[in-house]
Amino acid sequence: MIEKLKNHIALNFPLLETKKLLLAASGGLDSMVMAHLFHKLNYEIALAHCNFQLRGMESFGDQNFVQEYAATNSIPLFVTQFDTKAFAEDYKLSTQVAARKLRYNWFYELLETEKFDYILTAHHADDNLETFIINLTRVTGLEGLTGIPEQNEKVIRPLLLFSRQEIENYAKENTIQWREDSSNTSDKYLRNKIRHHLVPMLKELNPNFLSSFHKTQTYLQEAQAMVEDASIIVYQQVAKRDEDNIYFDLNQLKKLPNYKSYLYQWLKEFGFSAWDDIYDLVESQSGKQVFSPEFRLLKDRDSLILSPMNFVNEKEEYLIDENQKEVKIPLNLSFCKVADISIVSNKTIFVDANKLQFPLVLRHWNDGDVFQPFGMEGKSKKVSKLFKDEKLSLIDKENTWLLCSNNEIVWIVGIRQDNRFRIENETQNILKIQLE
């Protein structure tokens, strides 16, 4: 086993040779074999043990066991304890998900503070098979069937090529001690049901099942790589982005025979789960939205717009004093007195300062807002109608600010000036306002 691991590292992870490695050590069979192997191969390692306090004194027995092993073998050790049940209740998580979050958050903290290069976990081939079956019982895309990745950013799983039986045989041959987790014997958890009942049946049907499964997963991973390559090429044809948003051209998208698959590939990383609702957006009316915890997808005419969730407080407003030269929040505006006007644009206006009443107010627009468009003497127009004429999306509307004087609109910032505050022949006090 040790030669097989050496060859595997040399072929797939030669970068580990000179790195500082943090090994996750639960005290169980897999992690203790991994610790033994990397210690014997003279890698620079340290162990990290999490006490989740889920099994009473047994959890502290695991902690003591790992501490004794580290001390005996002169291996640096980091230990932490979590109130996992309280964390799970606070964040409405299952105990297993809560433990995973706590565990990896702490690992990454150690990676940063203690200057480790990689985290190593002891997942093996049977773990990979169990994960595949779990995903198979749920709604999943192709990537859900490709198994546990050998490397995920800074996390490396060097034992995935070994079966549980190989690991146990090695432990017995080398008199490696480990702790048994009593919860592993319970069929309370889905993974244990699969481990105790389904996997033995599959291995009985085909003694080489793990080997066959590994080949199948290799084919699935290759297919997933092809899908990802294709999605990148098509993305460049369909999507455009600015600083905050991604715009998907629906006319281009609907030319694709499998556009739903592309949407799934592009949007899965943003936390969406209501896939049928997302697919329905393509043919929905403008204004329809689908939300993930941190993003939203908006149908706007011939586009789908992906944007981060920015919760707009319609009552949010900012006051601007008469002597104020600039505003940094929520927009970068500058104010200065000038003798003459220069070029007027969407980002620069010139107003008669004597017509203003301070403090000016910078606020969001409301449905009933009315203004007099620049150059249209005495004619009023709803701000909402201007937005429609300008074909602004809902996101653009939410990000639009109004500069007001005594409840009258001076400027729909960056879009249109109000005619009532224009420069006239008799104007003597000109104020230049610019959106930087």
CA distance 154 to 24: 13
287 labeled binding residue:
no
d(CA 246, CA 284): 19
Please report where in the chains the tokens 């879009």 appear, as a residue: 415
What whole-number distance in Å separates Cα of residue 23 and Cα of residue 108? 12
* CA–CA gap between residue 256 and residue 234 (Å, rounded): 9
Give the residue among 46, 50, 47, 49 at the shortest CA–CA distance from 20.
Answer: 46
Any binding-site annotation on 27? yes
Segment (H or E) for 232: helix 209-238
The rounded distance, in Å, linking the Cα atoms of 282 and 353 is 48
Annotated binding residue 30: yes
306 belongs to an annotated ligand binding site: no
Query: Is omega for the bond preceding 158 within 30 degrees of 0, making it cis?
Result: no
**Is 378 flagged in the annotation as binding?**
no
Quick one: DSSP state of residue 217? H
Q: Could you tell me how many helices (H) and strands (E) the chain has, helices first? A: 15, 22
The answer to whether 345 and 432 have CB atoms below 8 angstroms apart is no
What is the secondary structure of 393-434 as a DSSP string? -HHHHHT-EEEEETTEEEEETTTEEBGGG---TT---EEEEE
Structural contact between residues 331 and 403, judged by C-beta atoms closer than 8 angstroms: no
Angle between helices 2-12 and 29-40 (to 10 degrees): 80
Buried b (16+ CB within 10 A) or exposed e, 153-184: eebbbbbbbbbbebbeebbeeeebebbebeee
Query: Does residue 375 have a known ligand-binding role?
Result: no
Annotated binding site for ATP: 26-31
Annotated binding site: 26-31
